[in-house]
Structure 1
Amino acid sequence: MEIKNNFNLIRVVLSIFVVLSHSYPVAGLPEPTYFYMSAGMLAVHGFFAISGYLITRSFERSPRVLSFAWNRLLRIAPGLVVAYLFSKFAYKAFDGYAGNPLVLLNASLWTLPWEMLCYVAVGLVGVVGALNRNTFPALYCSLWFIFIMHLGDDGRLFYFVTAMLMMFLTGAFIALAEHRLSVPKAALAAVFVMLVVFTQTGIDALSALVKVADFAYGPKFPIGGIRQALYVAALSFIFIYLSVYAVRVPFFKDDISYGVYVYAWPVQEIVVKLMADHGLAPGGLSVFLLSMPPIVLLSWISWRLIEKPALGMKKLLAIRKTQVTHQIRS
């Protein structure tokens, strides 16, 4: 099945959600949440779900570990290195953001090592022959069982990181099992699950159901953990539906989402610094509106001059391998 290219659009929207969400803490204000979920965290989960789908598809197309690693490196490293250097330069140029409420070099980058860990996991699972339609569903169910057994864990690592990894895992599962799934129907069901998770009426109904169907003599699953499990199970189907099955939007050919993500924080720090230096009180919405134009410009430059040319080097490894093979045969 040919993938409809709504991925760029959805990822741009998600990256804007991250910028909006971060505009508040960088201004010294509490990050807005709805039922304990911020727009930024929702967006990050969406990124991981989409990444799980696309990276798995990528390994299916090119199941050689070396080429897979090379392609992933080209997508992540060049833009990341330049964005990091920009972050360092901005930090020094603007006096270490002295006086800003929250001073960090680039807070958005914390998710990237976890995403790269997911790439490594895809490569390892592929090497052992488990990244296929027959074997992976069993692995997926096993990991879900482990996840459910830890629903009572309220640690930050489990709450923030494990959910991201499960989103990636579910995206990978959809990529391998969608020939047996009706993703549109699953996405519709996922919308109803979201209504349960993110409405007080739904939570009350879920609490009543859990109370009636409590496990005899066993540990009680906290309602918060059950909500998280339902949310993790459902969200990936919604984003994959929007990216693959929804009506195609015929623009957003430039993939600026990565640039928006990695340049947003230093730009926001600069905006807060400049506002304070001019006697203006930074607010979440004002920081967002003032930050977006330079963020989009930097992201577009990054895509055109760094990321896209780097992706054009994907064929170098294949060409080199062909040359070596030809030399051996000759």
Structure 2
Amino acid sequence: MDRDTSTSAGAASARRGRDRLAVEHLPRPRPASPDGSRRPTLAALFDPRDNSLDVLRLALAGFVAVVHGTANGFGRQPHVGTTDLGSVAVDGFFVVSGFLVTRSFLRLGSLRRYAWHRFLRIAPAFWVCLVVTAAAVAPLAAVLGGQSAAVVLEGPDSAPSYVSSNALLLMRQFGVTGVGDPVRGGQAVLDGSLWTLFFEACCYGAVAALGVVGVLRRRAWLLAACAVLWAATIAAAAGVDLGTELMLRFLFIFLLGAAGYVFADRVPVSGALAAASTALVVAGLHLLPDHRALAGPAFAYVVLWAAVRLPLRWRPRWDLSYGLYIYHWPVQLLLALAGAAVLGAVPFVALSLLLACAAAALSWLLVERPCLRMKDASWVQAPLPRRRRGAGGSPGTGRGDRPHEESR
């Protein structure tokens, strides 16, 4: 999910080099049969510079915003069976993220660089969003609700507490004193999209752990891990209380995306298989409380098939997907408090998308892009010092920053 935004010739050259390296780290596609009957694989069709992932991520963020718009403005959101469609879009995010984050780990070949890149991608914009929501959105929402702006500084659910309680990504405080929900009543949720980011970060850590112990380079082990998570998902859908349903959900779907990358040379890209997988997903949505129990792998296949087959090759210079995801909810809350729901569902949602995209653009220009430019900072590029013989380790034990070898 990292994007090089530098326009200098040197940076462009480095970007091309990284893309070539990424192609080398992708599993080699299996050769076609002499008669040409073998279908192309994901490895053969995935081009790091020419794919639909940017548009797909933006579309998924927009879809989540539309679903939340109907909930925040009118108290309802579309469902298929017992599953709200916003959750399906979030699952799509996790599949794409699993694919790209695994690629990033294997490409970088350094746990330190990987952790720094992941931190820059998610944390700074999240923190700024917390501050903006507490310092600007909450007081304005209180005023729109007939309260004083200063009321948000009172009580245990104060605006400062909102920032401090949620600063580690785990959302422990969802509302602020004096901000009411105009649709559902009671205290409003200031930003109901942020809670998934904790699970995203946990999945980043899972990829790092699996990479360090070698699971990402031993296909059978990764396949076994996915099988165990699938079995646990089936058990949870059958009523077994595992106590970790959300973590199970996100880790399972994320690792399916990771497996899509690791097994890319074995995954055929077939329209017929994508259609059958889509039918299986629809059946799972209608028949089960958790469609992943039936169609988790099928869902991941549909998302990855779309990444290489959809004719949406546009690569915007501004990546608005993350900003749109984290800012659309507070924008919709303010619109609902201002009475914009009288416009009707379509105008309300369209206006919220327009304003949320403006907030996302500011987030990209002022926070995300400047932070991502620091991903190759000199301190993170510098090799770690090597230990001397007899000092508790063998020479050159700072191997954490060495590139991974594909033969291992």
1:85-131 Cα shifts (integer Å, max 9, x gaps): 11112111221444622411211101000110101111111111111
* Equivalent position to 2:357, from 276, 280, 296: 296
Cα deviation per residue 1:65-104 (whole Å; 9 max; x = unaligned)? 1111100000001111111111112111221444622411
- 2:198 corresponding residue in structure 1: 113
Give the one of 237, 255, 273 matched to 1:169. Answer: 255
Q: Paired residue for 2:231?
A: 145
For structure 1, list consecutive stretches of 5 or more residues without a partner in the other structure: 204-222, 326-330
Q: Specify the SS of the correspondent of 1:108.
A: coil
Q: CA 1:28 to 1:246, structure 2 compared with 1: closer, same or farther past 3 Å?
A: closer
Kindly state the Cα deviation for residue 230 of structure 1 after the two structures are TM-superposed. 2.2
> Alignment partner of 1:150: what SS?
helix
Contact 1:21 1:40 in 2 (8 A): yes
Contact 1:8 1:254 in 2 (8 A): no
For 1:239-278, list aligned pairs within 5 A: 239-275=303-339
Aligned pair count? 300
Quote the offset at 1:224 in angstroms: 4.3
Which residue does 1:213 correspond to in 2?
A: none
Q: Which residue, out of 116, 130, 133, partners 1:87? A: 133
Q: Which amino acid in 2 is paired with 1:84?
A: L
Match of 1:238 among 302, 317, 323: 302
With over 3 angstroms needed to count, the CA separation of the structure-2 counterparts of 1:99 and 1:146, relative to structure 1, is closer
Aligned to 1:206: none
- Cα distance, 1:265–1:253 mapped onto 2, change above 3 Å: same
Equivalence for 1:328 = none
CA 1:252–1:233 in 2, change beyond 3 Å: closer, same or farther? same
Q: What is aligned with 1:42?
A: 88
1:229-270 per-residue CA deviation (whole Å, 9 max, x = no partner) reads 223221111111112343342343421110000001110011
Q: Which has the larger share of helix? A: 1
Q: 1:184 aligns with which of 261, 265, 270?
A: 270
- Is the 2:60–2:93 contact (alpha carbons within 8 Å) kept by the matching residues of 1? yes
Query: Alpha carbons of 1:32 and 1:147: their partners in 2 closer, same or farther (altered >3 Å)?
Result: closer
Whichever residue aligns with residue 110 of structure 1, its letter is W
The one-letter code sitting in structure 1 at the alignment partner of 2:279 is F
- The alignment's TM-score, normalised by the length of structure 1, stands at 0.81
- Report which structure shows greater RCO (CA 8 Å, sep ≥6): 1
- Give the corresponding residue for 2:368: 307
Go from structure 1 to structure 2 and tell me whether the alpha carbon gap of 1:284 and 1:161 turns closer, same or farther (over 3 Å shift). farther
Shift of 1:133: 4.6
Change (3 A) 1:154 1:10: farther
How large is the RMSD of aligned CA atoms in angstroms? 2.7
How is 1:19-38 mapped onto 2 (pairs within 5 angstroms)?
Answer: 19-38=65-84
Tell whether the 8 Å contact from 1:62 to 1:68 is kept in structure 2 after alignment.
yes
User: Could you say which residue in structure 2 is the equivalent of 1:208?
Assistant: none
Deviation at 1:144, TM superposition (A): 2.3
How far the C-alpha of 1:38 sits from its partner, in A, is 2.0
Evaluate the alpha carbon distance shift between residue 174 and residue 274 of structure 1 in structure 2; reply closer, same or farther with a 3 A threshold. Answer: same
Residue 20 of structure 2: aligned partner = none
Summarize the Cα distance change of 1:97–1:236 in structure 2 as closer, same or farther, 3 Å threshold. Answer: same
* 1:133–1:177 Cα contact (<8 Å) kept: no
Amino-acid identity (%): 29
Task: State the shift of 1:46 in Å.
Answer: 0.4
2: CA distance between counterparts of 1:299 and 1:250? 18
Give the 3 Å change call, closer, same or farther, for CA 48–300 of structure 1 in structure 2.
Answer: same
Structure 1 residues 242 and 162: CA distance shift in structure 2, 3 A: same
What is the rounded CA distance, in whole Å, between the counterparts of 1:156 and 1:283 in structure 2? Answer: 42
CA distance in 2, matches of 1:105, 1:196: 34
Residue aligning to 2:209? 124
Q: CA deviation at 1:35?
A: 1.8
Q: Deviations over 1:273-321 (max 9, x none)?
A: 1116xxx647543431221111111111211221112111111056651
| Equivalent of residue 67 in structure 1, options 90, 98, 113 | 113
Instruction: Report if aligned partners of 2:72, 2:332 keep a CA contact under 8 Å in 1.
Output: yes
The aligned counterpart of 2:182 is 100
Unaligned runs of 5+ in 2: 1-22, 24-46, 143-177, 387-408
